[in-house]
Amino acid sequence: IRQLVKQRRPRGFPPGPSPIPVIGNIMSLATEPHVFMKKQSEIHGQVRYLNYCGNIWHIMVLNGYDAIRECLYHQGDVFSDRPSLPLFMKMTKMGGLLNAKFGNGWIEHRQLASNSFRYFGRFQKPLDQKILEECMFFVDAIDEHKGKPFNPKHLVTNAVSNITNLIIFGERFTYDNCDFQHMIEIFSENVELAVSGWAFLYNAFPWIEYLPFGKHQKLFRNAAKVYNFLEQIIRRFSEGRVCNFPRHYIDDYLNKLDKSAGDLGTPYSRENLIYSVGELIIAGTETTTNTLRWAMLYMALYPNIQEKVHKEMDSVLGSEKSPSLADKKRMPYVEAVLHEVLRFCNIVPLGIFRATTQDTLVSGYNIPKGTMVITNLYSVHFDEKYWCDPGTFSPHRFLDSNGNFVRREAFLPFSLGKRHCLGEHLARMEMFLFFTTMLQRFHLQFPPGTVPSLTPKLGMTLQPLPYSICAVRRQQ
C-alpha cells in the first residue's frame, strides 16, 4: 500500500506527468495513448517517465526517431527484453517467441521460425508462387460480390492468414473453415483486450484474477479456447511426420524437440510450440490484414491516387500478366503508396513493449535493469524533424523528382534492433502481391453517398472501423 501511495519517480529517471494516487499515470494509456505521449514529448522531451499504479511498474516512453534509434539500435542488447507483466506471464509464461525473455530460448525460437520462413518451398513451390495462388482465391472471392458493397475484413483476414498457415501447417484453409475463423476472431479480440483498462488493472493487481467479472476474464477464456484449438490442430498436422523431411514449421519444431530430448535446459517444449504457433499466426495476420484494409480504404478515399496506381500497373503489367515480385522494382508508385499507408496508419503504434536487460544511461538519465520501455512508433512517423507535413497522406514523400522510389530513414513500422519484426520480408511480399493483384482487376469505391470514418479502432494494433466498399471490375 505504501508503494501505491508514494508515487515516487526513481532517482535519475526522466521527468513525466504528475501521477494520480494509486493509479499513477494509467489514464495516459486510455484513449489515444500514442498521440498523448507524442504531445507530451513535444513539451517535455523525447524520453519520458510514466508511473503505472504507484511504484509497481516504472515505464520509460521513447518518442521520436532519434531517441528510438539511440536505444533500439545503438544499445540493441540492452533494449531487447520483454517486461514480465502478469498478463504476459499468464498468457505465455514469457516463453514462446514474441513474448519470450531475451536469452537462449528466444534466440533458438527466433532462429527456428526464420529458417522455416526462409526454407519454405524447399520441397515444393517457392513462397511467392504460393502467395500468388492465394491472391487468385482472394480476387475470385471478391468477384462474387459483383461490385456490390461488402465489408472486406473477413476476406482479407482469411487470405492473409493462409500465408502463415502454409508456413506453419503446410496447407491453406478454405474461406468457409468456421473453426479456424472463430479462433482468429477471438484471438484478435484479445489483441484489443490486452490494452484495455482491465488488462492494465490486472497487470498492477493480479489478484483481480479472482474477481468473477471484468474484461480480463473474457481475455482468459478466449486464450484458453485458442490454446485448446491450437493443441488439437498441431496434433493433427504432425501426424505422419518423418525425421529429416520436414513439411512445415510444426515438423521443424518437433524434430528439434526430439533432438533435445533429455537436455534439461532445452527451451523446446510442447507448450512453447503452442505459444509460438499462436504468436506467429496472430502477429502475421492482424498486422498485414490491417495494412491491406487501410490501403483499400485510402484507395477509395483518394481516387486520384488509385488512378496513378492503375496507370503504373497497366503500363508495367497490362491486363493479362499476373504481378510477380520481379515487377516490384518497376512499380515505384505502388511501393510509395504501400509505404505511405504503413507510415500514416501506424499499424502497431506503440510497438511491442520492451524491457531493459541491464542498468543503462539514456539522454543523461539513469534507467535501471528491468524497466518497461514503450517505443512510440507513431511519433517516429509523425516526427516533424524527418517528415514534412506528416499529417497529410502523400505517397510522393517516398519518390524523388524522377519518380524513383526512395527509402526514408525515419520509417519504422517493423521497429528496429534485435527484436525487430521477424516477418518483415514476408509481410512486404504479401502486401505487394495482394494489393497489385486486387487493383489490377478492380476499381475500389465507396457505396454512393457514404464515406467511412478514418478514426482507428484501438488495440495493440490500429485497424479501421468496419466499412463497406464496392470492388468494380475494371475495363482496361
CB 220 within 8 A of CB 193: no
Of the candidates 63, 87, 356, the one whose C-alpha atom is nearest the C-alpha of residue 195 is: 87
Q: Which of 298, 277, 241, 246 is nearest to 435 (CA)?
A: 298
Would you give the binding string for ligand HEM spanning residues 176-205, x where CB under 6 A is met?
------------------------------
Binding piece for ligand HEM, criterion CB under 6 A, among 9-17, 231-239, 310-318, 349-357: 349-357
423 contacts ligand HEM (rule: CB under 6 A) = yes
Among 427, 438, 444, 471, binds ligand HEM (CB under 6 A): 427
Q: How many residues does the chain have?
A: 476
Between residues 97 and 204, which has the closer beta carbon with respect to ligand HEM?
97
In the complex, least distance from residue 386 CB atom to ligand HEM, rounded to whole angstroms: 18
> Is the CB of 48 or the CB of 381 nearer to ligand HEM?
381
Among 59, 67, 226, 283, binds ligand HEM (CB under 6 A): 283
C-alpha span between 75 and 78 (Å, rounded): 5
Using the contact rule CB under 6 A, the part of the chain among 34-42, 364-372, 408-416, 439-447 near ligand HEM is 408-416
| Nearest alpha-carbon partner for 163 in 314, 289, 317 | 289
Least separation in angstroms between CB 450 and ligand HEM: 27
Contact, 385 vs 391, CB < 8 A?
Answer: no
What H or E segment, with its residue span, contains residue 58? strand 57-63
The residue sitting closest to ligand HEM, measured at its beta carbon, is 423
> Smallest distance from the beta carbon of 294 to ligand HEM, in angstroms?
10
Residue (53 or 350) nearer to ligand HEM, CB: 350
Residue 287 engages ligand HEM in binding (rule: CB under 6 A): yes
Taking CB under 6 A as the criterion, the residue among 40, 158, 162, 164 binding ligand HEM is 164
Match 487493383 to its residue by C-alpha cell: 439
Between residues 397 and 419, which has the closer beta carbon with respect to ligand HEM? 419
Q: Which residues of 188-220 are buried (b: 16+ CB within 10 A; e: fewer)?
A: bebbbbbbbebbbbbbbeeebeeeeebebebbb
Burial annotation 320-339 (CB, 10 A radius, 16+ → b, else e)? eeebebebbeebbbbbbbbb
Question: Residue 8 CB, nearest distance to ligand HEM (Å)?
Answer: 29
Question: Nearest CA to 170 among 258, 238, 271?
Answer: 238
How far apart, in whole angstroms, are the C-alpha atoms of residue 48 and residue 14? 5
Nearest approach, Cβ of residue 161 and ligand HEM (Å) = 10
> Residues 298, 414, 432, 467: which binds ligand HEM (CB under 6 A)?
414
Position 420 contacts ligand HEM (CB under 6 A): yes
Q: Which range binds ligand HEM by CB under 6 A, 32-40, 263-271, 277-285, 466-474?
A: 277-285
Closest alpha carbon to 174 in 160, 157, 162? 162
Give the residues lining the site for ligand HEM (CB under 6 A). 97-98, 110, 164, 279-280, 283-284, 287-288, 291, 347-348, 351-352, 354, 375, 413-415, 419-423, 426-427
